[in-house]
Structure 1
Amino acid sequence: MPPLKQHFGIPSTAPFVDVDTYDDTSLFVDPFRIARGARSDPYAAEAHALICDYSELLCRRLLGSVEDKACAQQMLDNLNEPSETHLGMSRTGYRGRGVGEYLATKIREALQDDLKALVAVGVFHWIGALPLFVRNFDSDRMSDVTTSIIRGVLIDFTEHMVDVYPEFRANGNQVRECKMTVWDRHQHQWIERTAVLPYVEGHPLLLIPEGWTGSHIQLHARRYHSVTVLGRVQEERLEQNPKARRIPKETLAKLPMYSEIYPTNLAVTLRAFREGINLLEALIQYVNDWMDEQERLAA
């Protein structure tokens, strides 16, 4: 089947991602890109606010009372793989495996066990940082979780695009009502919402603003390990012995105590925080600067 814009007869300049209308498109919604967009785009600002509200409440509840933990589980149970976006990696059309119970359990156990110390001291309070510390929490999974949390904003954006582009209602194309579960940051809970969306092959479609997706997420474990974490290890060694030679990161990465990416990321992050250094903020600044430079060169 043709790409989305060709299918509806919409100009290629329309400000949303041109996905495949049948198969999943190998692009991923990136919470970091959304956070960057929040500086100038009201849709991105609201999406970022939703992610922050969800993340902070989930962390607080997972470390709270038995009742809080039950509420946290309900928050996780409503995450799913949104087939309405046609994004991600699916083997059979655009109806993929879904987040399901396995991933909800993985997030809960990570925040209550391995990441508990980071959560407790306030270093970890944004779900977009999960891929830095949790094995097999890759671009596809992060995209699924992010899309579930920001679904309400995607509904707002899609309904606006339907109003801007009459092609969605022309030439036999359908726009219909459907029910969707969205995160409400004012009520701090999942609610049911009625959406008016375009349909393709009998299924609702959510549009994704341009700039919110990429071929991979920007904050991933290997980048954090090779750039920020091993950079801190270099500084630690120099602090212990100022006259020592700076050991290259490539050499450090081969040493047994630093070669395992996820345990090293966790241990060095916590160690640095105890010294008053927030490595998560350092990574975010590094990637922001790098992307600013890329955009400057492309202009």
Structure 2
Amino acid sequence: MVNFNDYFHVNGKVYFNADLENDSRLFLNPDALVKVGSNLFDAKEAKINISSYFERVYLLYRSMRKAEARELLTFPREVKYTRIGYGDSSQFGRGTSLTILDEVLMRLVKSGIDLDLIKDYPQFLMLLTKNFGSDRLSDLVTNLCYEQLVNFTHKICKMLGISAKTKVKACYFDAKEYSWVKRIVMLPVDHNGMPILLMPKEAVIEEYKFSPYKFLRKVLLPSRQQQLKELGIYQTLDDIYSTDVQPYQDNKEYNLSRVIEDPSLIVEYLNITRKLA
């Protein structure tokens, strides 16, 4: 393994010291990214980008401007230069599941749910959307904050005396224009000539706190159990899983149906995750 520090003979601590030869199964956490304490990373702008993006997407769906919404959802695919994620050989694929995200968001809008509840929590889409998991969410967050990550990389390189002169095509999210814009940026490269995009160390995680399984087990099944209890029906969580959840092709489809039925379940789970923070 050759990591960033070893290759450039430096000992930086504030950035994720990526393995330059293999992708690490790690992810970029939006919650931590918008709270990065280092003045080398513009956490405020990162937060604006993430919030503005989802506010715009949800607004477009509420206004039934689906073509514009889909254009925003079709974001640039995997940013390989971070060296995190499942890698190209993964069975999980890359980029958004546009059709499935579109279907989920349309169902949420038609149900009348206030999508502003989750505009600051893009992780929530993982709980409801089939084939949209940790890797794709991490890719989306990386794309949304690409400009801030590039600037962070430049500051680190300048501080450590590392050359960042290789031209790379990039696609940024412009929070003022609500659109993806293409630019040429300068990045450092590794021994194979592959560009490197650095990330704040504190924002790189092994797994998200938001989990479809935990949402199901900690909120949805107990809620259903209470509903049945009030009707004089007593069932274990496993019994409810067998009768209510298993008929669905995917647990996330059940999660979505329950959220549409009772949006307060979103707030309940958000409260749980905040307590665990």
TM-score (norm: length of structure 2): 0.83
SS in 1 for 2:207: coil
| 1:62-106 C-alpha deviation (Å, 9 max, x unpaired) | 3435xx32222221233311111111112559xx95327xx2233
* Selected match of 2:101 from 96, 103, 107: 107
Residue 285 of structure 1 corresponds to 271
Note the 1:201-280 alignment, pairs <5 A. Answer: 201-240=192-231, 247-254=235-242, 256-259=243-246, 260=248, 261-273=251-263, 277=264, 279-280=265-266
Query: Within 1, Cα distance between the matches of 2:113 and 2:259?
Result: 13
Report the Cα offset of residue 240 of structure 1. 4.5
Aligned to 2:185: 195
CA contact (8 A) 1:25 1:89 kept: yes
- Distance, in Å, in 1 between the alignment partners of 2:76 and 2:224 is 36
Judge conservation of contact 2:33–2:200 (CA < 8 Å) in 1: no
**Equivalent pair of 1:32/1:218 in contact (CA under 8 Å):** no
- The alpha carbon displacement at 1:224 in A equals 0.8
Check conservation: 2:75, 2:95, Cα contact below 8 A.
Answer: no
What letter corresponds to residue 102 of structure 2 in structure 1? Answer: R
Partner of 2:180, secondary structure, is strand
Residue range with higher mean Cα deviation, 2-11 or 44-53: 44-53
Distance 2:130 2:160 in 1: 42
**Correspondent of 1:180 among 170, 178, 188:** 170
Shift of residue 4, structure 1, vs aligned partner: 1.6
Residue type of the alignment partner of 1:72: A
SS at match of 1:182: strand
Structure 1 unaligned runs (5+)? 292-299
Q: Residues 190 and 218 (structure 1 numbering): CA distance in 2 closer, same or farther, change over 3 Å?
A: same
Q: Does 1:116 align with 2:97?
A: no
Residue identity over aligned pairs, in percent, reads 20
Cα deviations across residues 137-173 of structure 1 (Å, max 9, x unaligned)? 111111112211111121121112112222x23xxxx
Q: CA 1:176 to 1:204, structure 2 compared with 1: closer, same or farther past 3 Å?
A: same
Query: Residue type of the partner of 2:8?
Result: F
Asked if the contact 2:3–2:19 (Cα under 8 Å) also holds between the matched residues in 1, the reply is yes
Q: Structure 1 residues 134, 195: CA separation in 2 closer, same or farther (over 3 Å shift)?
A: same
TM-score by length of 1: 0.78
Change (3 A) 1:118 1:127: farther
State the distance in 2 between where 1:154 and 1:78 align. Answer: 17
1:5 partner amino acid? N
The alpha-carbon deviation at position 60 of structure 1 amounts to 1.8
What letter corresponds to residue 152 of structure 1 in structure 2?
E
Match 1:159 to one of 131, 151, 154? 154
Q: Provide the C-alpha distance between the structure 2 equivalents of 1:77 and 1:182, rounded to a whole number of angstroms.
A: 13
Question: Does the aligned pair in 1 maintain the 2:168–2:187 contact within 8 Å?
Answer: yes
Equivalent pair of 1:133/1:266 in contact (CA under 8 Å): yes
Q: How many pairs align?
A: 269
Contact 2:100 2:130 in 1 (8 A): no
Q: Tell me, yes or no, if the aligned pair for 1:29 and 1:217 is still in contact at 8 Å.
A: no
| Paired residue type of 1:229 | L
The CA RMSD over aligned residues, in Å, is: 2.9
